[in-house]
Structure 1
């Protein structure tokens, strides 16, 4: 492994910081039922934690009608804005680990496919927003690699920023933008899904992220 130090840790949210399956599954079913489609169990919907919503509804319904997909997304968000975001569960030890990384001087940020407003509400709910320099949210039609490219163009991330995520979409987005990456295995991605992206680190439990203290360019703590 090439020796390097990271100027920032860029976290995915769903399946990395918190477990969103219950809220996501219930909101998907809310939208599907309203549109006359069958509903699914949480286990059946777990593969859709991570990818953008439009891709999810394309996959589930088989529809390529953009108006129908947009309507499904809007109905999903109708419930998510009121209830779904609060059905997240924080992964064990994530809060203490993030606080510890911040205390050690790690500069951190979040890059998620979900809209920024929901990501902010989730982080605030768990009292974690204070530890992140910024939160980058996505939207329909915007792929994660495009989000990271935009952050690079603004100088908010560099090729020394470590992307930390648990799905193919996270690590492939990092690779496209020449960012190093770390795979986490407590969410919804498998080792088989993540290893082909040549991630520099593989973590099996959130407390293992503390190992990154030896790899960061430490900044003075502001909290």
Structure 2
């Protein structure tokens, strides 16, 4: 695999295991709106895609109720759910090695940017990033392709031949492709090897150690 000089990282399922906080926030939203809390397999589909899309697709909510569900989610998430979260072992070392090698490291997440920044500061990882870019709170920028385009612009990336995206869901792979970028699939996250391969990932990392090899040893 070619040596990449700029690496864009997804957050949830790629840098941190944020499932507990996200799922608890979805449960809170369902309870607040008197909706039946879906079974675990459905809940876990909320891990990765933009939040409004998940409420619409998996709970079959119309637009007005989707807005209410997102608002209810954000009652719980900023205070509690945001820190029901753990950094995957090996990620701090990977980020440190990338920076030591002179790589440009950028976050591109569908999570609201303010939340992403708070999480990185909480785990003392913010210093490894040249830019932390995410969705807007008003949902005007949530699509992964739009977030990646925004991240590239914010970081001043104009040459794409040595840029790669790293993410754990098909949305990351397809969003990268819409911006002319390859994507490495993080299988250790919330997607599957089959999902990421079908979406067009150029390589798969079953573990953080595999990702380290792909990014640092090529």
1:144 paired to 2:147:
no
Residue pairs, 1:76-115, within 5 angstroms = 76-115=73-112
Partners in 1 of 2:24 and 2:152 — Cα distance?
35
Task: Output one character per residue of 1:38-89: Cα deviation in whole Å (capped at 9) or x when no partner.
Answer: 114545411210000101111232122x221111101111111111100011
Segments of structure 2 that go 5 or more residues without pairing to the other structure are: none
Residue 183 of structure 1 contacts residue 194 of structure 1 at CA under 8 Å; is this kept in 2?
Answer: yes
TM-score, normalised with respect to structure 2: 0.90
Provide the residue aligned with 1:181 in structure 2.
183
| 1:21–1:42 Cα contact (<8 Å) kept | no
Alignment of 1:1-223 (within 5 A): 4-64=2-62, 66-139=63-136, 140-142=139-141, 143-153=143-153, 156-157=156-157, 158-159=159-160, 160-211=162-213, 212-215=215-218
Note the C-alpha offset of 1:210: 2.2
116-125 or 90-99, larger mean C-alpha shift: 90-99
Q: Which has the higher contact order (CA 8 A, sep 6+)?
A: 1
The SS at the match of 2:78 is helix
Query: CA RMSD of the aligned region, Å?
Result: 1.7
Q: Contact (CA 8 Å) 1:26, 1:84: kept in 2 or not?
A: yes
TM-score by length of 1: 0.88
Contiguous gaps of at least 5 residues in structure 1: 216-223
Give the number of aligned pairs.
212
Residue range with higher mean Cα deviation, 181-190 or 136-145: 136-145
